[in-house]
Amino acid sequence: MKNLLSKLLLCLAILILVSCANKKEEEELPTDPNILFNQASNDLNKGRYDLAAESFAKIYVEHPYSELATKAKLMEAYSWYEKQDFDMTLAILDEFVKLHPAYKDIDYAYYLRAMSYYYQISDSKHDQEQTLLSKNAIGEVIARFPNSNYARELKFKLDLVNDHLAGNEMEIARFYQARNDFIAAINRYDKVIKEYQTTNHVKEALARLVECYLALGIVDEATKYASILGANYPASSWYQYSYDLLNKNK
């Protein structure tokens, strides 16, 4: 009886070991990339961005030579983008554009990269590093893919980026002007006029230049900028302000 029981226990132990081995082997086997891609896409559609990114990444690692591998890597970046984890998005995309420069949807990779910077733009009173990165990334899309829909869309966003940068220059210029550092202020206002001509800040920058030059006693320069303001923005309240300021000083 003891021998029979021992044999039964031994058989049971062997069955358990075999079952565990088979299960482990099944777990270690790569999943079909199509199944993984469909699973990841489903998770993405349902807002499970972490799970989607994980599955897309798994395709790229386990099936690097499959037709879905490169697309999955781009979709991994998109999953993080949808989660608004822009650091992860940019890390993946920076690597992607280096490794797959000839990919058929490479324009989308650059677009997604530009948008990741764009959505991190802060207001004009803070450091503008992200705004500059956004401007450069948008400019790269427009330069590389000028006829794409992405370039056309980003041209509109570039106006907002420039407005932020010009606004930051104006904040700094006003800071210098308030402390009677007129030369430093003039340099900043002049930069707005030359580099951000399409923004709404130009009118004020011209008027502030009139103020600064009058404060320095350089009436000819003040008059010049008032004339530019009048020629380009005759209906502007900033022109009327500058005109009145000049008359007052005369």
* pLDDT at res. 25: 42
* pLDDT at res. 124: 54
Q: CA 129, CA 165: separation in Å to the nearest integer?
A: 10
Q: 46 φ, ψ to 5°?
A: -95, 5
* pLDDT at res. 28: 47
Task: State the residue for tokens 């230049």.
Answer: 209
Q: What is the dihedral of CA 238, 239, 241, 247, to 10 degrees?
A: 160
Q: Is the pLDDT of residue 52 over 70?
A: yes
Contacts 24+ apart (CB under 8 A), 143-151: 144/107, 144/110, 145/107, 145/110, 148/107, 148/111, 150/107, 150/108, 150/110, 150/111
How sure is the predictor about 18, in pLDDT bands with cuts at 50, 70 and 90?
very low
Q: Is the pLDDT of residue 94 over 70?
A: yes
Q: Residues 164, 167, 173, 178: is their CA dihedral positive or negative?
A: negative
Burial 130-155 (b: 16+ CB within 10 A, else e): bbbbbbebbebbbeebeebebbeebe
In eight-state DSSP terms, residue 236 is: -
> Letter for the amino acid at 122?
S
Q: Is the pLDDT of residue 3 over 90?
A: no
Q: Is the pLDDT of residue 123 over 80?
A: no
* pLDDT above 70: percentage of residues in the chain: 85
Q: CA 114, CA 39: separation in Å to the nearest integer?
A: 28
Q: CA 239, CA 41: separation in Å to the nearest integer?
A: 57
What does the pLDDT average to over 146-155? 94
170 contacts 201 by C-beta, under 8 angstroms:
yes
* pLDDT above 90: percentage of residues in the chain: 76
Per residue in 56-79, pLDDT (tens digit) is 999 999 998 888 999 999 999 999
* pLDDT at res. 6: 52
